[in-house]
Amino acid sequence: MTVHPIEGRYGSEELRKVWEKRSELEKMLEVEAALAEAEAEEGLIPQSAAEEIKNKASLEHVKLERVKEIESKIHHDIMAVVQGLSEQCSDDSGEYVHLGATSNDIKDTTRGLQIKESLKIIKNKLVSFEDVLLDKCERYKSTPCTGRTHGQHAVPTTLGHKFAIFLDEIHRHINRINELEDRILVGQITGAVGTQAALKEKGEIVHQKTIKKLGLKPVTISNQVIQRDRHAELVSELGLLASSLDKIGKEVRNLQRTEISELEEPFKEEQVGSSTMPQKRNPIKSERICGLAKVLRGNVPSEFENVALEHERDLTNSSSERILLPESFLLVDEQLKLAIEVFDELVIHEDNIERNLNLTNGLNMSEAVMIELVENGFGRQEAHGLIKECAMETYESEKDFFDVLVNRKEIRNILGKEDVKRILDPKNYLGSAEEHVENVIKKVRESREE
């Protein structure tokens, strides 16, 4: 019976498999095999023993059930793996398993392999999300829409500009992950407190060879564990990515409000929005994105606590990371899957976008009028005061902003009715919005060519 939602509800099967116990055991065996191979190359164990260990270091020979059985007796997970592998090796080859290593050499290096696979999956989804956003940026880069600050109508922007903000942020996350991989995709064979004393003068070369065979980067120095500032940086990035997706999901939710209704999540034919209100079309995917971000952000301080282990190590990081690392990856994975689904089939109500642009009877264009007055000889403060008076009059009456403006002598002396009409058209006050969108699109596309 499942308890945690990541066991069946959240995260892809592809990523879940990376963190399943069978996969973890498979990677631990891979580390033990690479260690034996490196030690044989350096003359520390017989070549025949290394070959036997490598041949038997697989799930075909070392069964998860047997490892669990051993662990239930000895209460040590890594030693259970060592014994499970050793008993499968013929002759005395099993005696050479795990020579000179400590538990966290195997465990932390296995974590490095799991993190490597997980980041590859996350980056692939980020690129897929980029593709969806690129399409939306291209298609809507010139589509005017209402800009909002403090929840109030501000000057216009474009829908593509909104999407490009998201695209640029997602692209930064890809860059961040690429940058942190150098620090997090690491492994170690450094022994009990990091001195490699058990391997004597061969310690460092065995460490280097073993980790490079696994496709990771050998740490320069450690104690009994790889230092947790690395893992804290990783979980911080996952929390930051979750927060960016939270922001994106929140924008969709707000723009899907009934009274705004500019964007809408795809709603399938047989989908049900409410158990009692048949008309409901709720933004449940975006809400789920936002809800999962709360959990992700909560994981960040827990991983920060793991940085300050005592002396050469204690065990307080181990139990928490069994939850923090797979959970963080799986929840971000779920968020990205949902974000791709939402934006791939995002419904855009252009008629409502146009309606909302004109909802304030032109008041959202007050800055444009002020700037026009300045360009025609008004002082900036003088123009601001005059347009504020006109705006307040519009608020307090039921007049259009246009009528209030053209009836003010100070304005009428400079601007004709056609001028005012032109200035109040949102399409004429989009500044460099389209250029910004094109710059983001260009940056993302060029980075893929490098």
Domain 103-264+280-356 sits in CATH 1.10.8.60: no
Backbone torsions φ then ψ of 7, nearest 5 degrees: -75, -15
What does the domain layout of the chain look like in residue ranges? 17-96, 103-264+280-356, 363-423
Report strand pairing: 186-187 vs 144-149: unpaired
Report strand pairing: 217-218 vs 263-264: unpaired
Side-chain-side CA neighbours of residue 299 (13 Å): 31
* Residue of 4, 76, 90, 274 with catalytic role: 274
Task: Identify whether the C-beta of residue 105 lies closer than 8 Å to the C-beta of residue 189.
Answer: yes
207: annotated active-site residue: no
- Report the distance separating Cα 266 and Cα 160, nearest Å: 19
274: annotated active-site residue: yes
Task: Identify whether the C-beta of residue 426 lies closer than 8 Å to the C-beta of residue 365.
Answer: yes
CB atoms closer than 10 angstroms to residue 417: 12
CB atoms closer than 10 angstroms to residue 237: 21
- Dihedral of CA atoms 428, 429, 433, 435 in degrees, nearest 10, equals 50
Determine the 3-state secondary structure of 157 from DSSP.
strand
- pTM here is 0.93
- Report the distance separating Cα 199 and Cα 396, nearest Å: 84
Which CATH number is 363-423 given? Answer: 1.10.40.30
DSSP conformational letter for 405: H
* Residue of 75, 150, 275, 319 with catalytic role: 150
Q: For tokens 């939602």, what's the residue?
A: 5
Report strand pairing: 152-158 vs 186-187: unpaired
Determine the 3-state secondary structure of 94 from DSSP.
helix
Per-block mean pLDDT, blocks of 10 residues, the chain (450 long): 80 95 97 98 97 97 97 96 97 96 96 98 98 98 97 97 98 97 97 95 97 98 95 97 98 96 87 75 93 96 94 90 95 98 96 95 95 94 95 89 93 93 96 97 92
Residues forming a β-bridge with 158: 144
Find the length of the chain: 450
Residues forming a β-bridge with 246: none
Task: Identify whether the C-beta of residue 388 lies closer than 8 Å to the C-beta of residue 408.
Answer: no
Backbone torsions φ then ψ of 165, nearest 5 degrees: -60, -45
Handedness of CA 74, 76, 78, 79 (dihedral sign): negative
Query: What is the pLDDT at residue 1?
Result: 67
Query: What is the pLDDT at residue 25?
Result: 98
- Domain 17-96's class? mainly alpha
First to last CA, the chain: 48
Determine the 3-state secondary structure of 219 from DSSP.
coil
Cα separation values, 38 from 159, 224, 306, Å: 57, 20, 31
Query: What is the pLDDT at residue 448?
Result: 87
Looking at 47-102, list the stretches that DSSP marks H as alpha helix, in order from N- to C-terminal side.
47-56, 64-74, 77-86
Report strand pairing: 186-187 vs 217-218: parallel
Q: Could you check whether 17-96 and 363-423 share the same CATH topology?
A: no
Q: For tokens 């939402």, what's the residue?
A: 342
> Rounded to 5, what percent of the chain is helix, strand, coil?
65, 5, 30
